[in-house]
Amino acid sequence: MSSPSRSAPAEAPNMKLFWACFIALVATSFVFGVRAATIGNLQESFNLSELQKGQINGAGMWPFALSIIFFSLIIDKIGYKAVAMFAIVCHTVSLVLTLRASGFTDFYWSTLLVAVANGTVESFINPVVATVFRHNKAKWLNILHAGWPAGLALGALFCAVFPDTKAMFEHAWQFRFALCFIPVGLYAVLILPCKFPINERVAAGVTYREMLQEVGGVGFFIITALTVPALTQMAGIDLGWGIILGIAAAVAVAMGVYTRSPGNWVFILILITIGPLATTELGTDGWMPDLLSLNGPSVANFATWVFVYVSAIMTVLRFFAGPIVHRISPIGLLVVGASIAICGLLLLSQSVGWAIVGAATVYAFGKTFLWSTTLGLVSEQFPRGGALTLNGVSAVGVLFLGVLGSPFLGYKQDVDMHKRLAASQPAILQKIEAETKSSIFGDNPSVDQAKIQALPEAEKTAYTAVQADSKRGVFKTIAILPSFMLACYIALFLYYKSRGGYKPVELGHADEADTGF
């Protein structure tokens, strides 16, 4: 690997383009947050079943990852501006469709479209910023991704100020979505006049096949093994894991033959860690409301304020990531971040009342740099992979979360809850126990929600107490994931140390870069 200078490039970076990308990410997470905060009220207002609600939520996840992969494969051929304009159109149409929605079908397609838009934004902002700041990628990708928690915090505050209740005004949910046009319109105005750079891979003359070689047969096996079940779940088809892995193996062999490469082993290791990372960060965020509602203090909108607080911490820290990355390297920062995240999750598993705020603070410090620094690491070590390696990491993380991560956490929660009830409240368990369901992780015990609501008040209180303990306990399970990540990061740290320390790879010195297994 080469040892480029960390000094600024001769040509000043295009800061207008950077802030346009930053606002685009803020708009993306703002719209995402508003939609997530409003879906429960839409379920009640439009009489949506739990199945329909689940289908809508699923439509908000898979297209995000799939659009990242699709555009990463063609973005250098059609240009960043075309992709950016497509995202603007999708965001606009999805909001219009939402405001005119009258039932499940409209909400499903508008959610799917906004997920496509969000993934499309992610597909162009990452390689653009990596190209504009090609001598300081880790720092500026961290700053760019401060836009994600910033948008989420703004969206959460907005929803708290304008609660979706008829007591405020009859069409509160429409008012929320209508104001989403403000950040979308702002990033459209900023993006449209911008002149986009040529990706550094293209400028350096790295061929399309050479780009694919960084991913290689093994990388495409991982991507395909997660993409196929995502597509089949969207279509309501159950192929079975045997067929899915067979398809992934066929794609892997074909891509291995075409690229003549199994993939860069360091990149493959990062692909393996990004799924647990996504589950650690986004999966934990999904469990936090339950933890706060069952174990937190009786304060109005407590969960919202803690979420805003944690998001604010992440926003500020990512803005100041540069000096930390410069001092300890991206790998060092990942080691530190994973270590702190483990501590934060273990604290969350033991915390009740106001102590949850302290535990959430530790957790926020740990998770802040994991995702954005991983992108920085990929951009600095695999510039030959262009947009595909950089965006492929994000796509695999989201796909893993949806296909394996979230279902695994749900399975562990059901098993833990069943064990706790069997040990402490067997009579209650007998009243509410439902038919065991099958899952890829084994037989999944379940309870009947209607029977829980029909319990006498004293038994319902006892059930809630067991549930509160179980919700805390799931964070111990989640802590296993950053522990695995930490082991991988330490291995990478030792690997780079054996090669003289971490140094970014610059195109033009390809002869010194790692070339595979």
Handedness of CA 19, 20, 25, 31 (dihedral sign): positive
Residue 13, pLDDT > 50, answer yes
User: Does the reported pTM lie above 0.95?
Assistant: no
Q: Comparing 62 with 497, which gets the higher pLDDT?
A: 497
Predicted confidence (pLDDT) per residue in 271-297, tens digit: 999 999 999 988 777 767 777 777 778
pLDDT per position as a tens digit, 104-149: 888 889 888 999 999 999 999 999 999 999 889 999 999 999 999 9
Number of helical H runs and strand E runs in the chain? 23, 2
- Give the CA diameter of the chain: 74
Measured CA to CA, the distance from residue 273 to residue 143 in angstroms comes to: 22
d(CA 17, CA 11): 14
Which stretch, 46-50, 163-167, 213-217, has highest mean pLDDT?
213-217
Q: Which domains does the chain have, with CATH numbers?
A: 13-198 (1.20.1250.20), 206-263 (no CATH), 275-507 (1.20.1250.20)
Cβ(479)–Cβ(343) below 8 Å:
no
With H, G, I as helix, E, B as strand and everything else as coil, classify residue 207: coil
The gap from C-alpha 400 to its chain's centroid, in whole angstroms, comes to 10
Amino acid at the residue 64: F
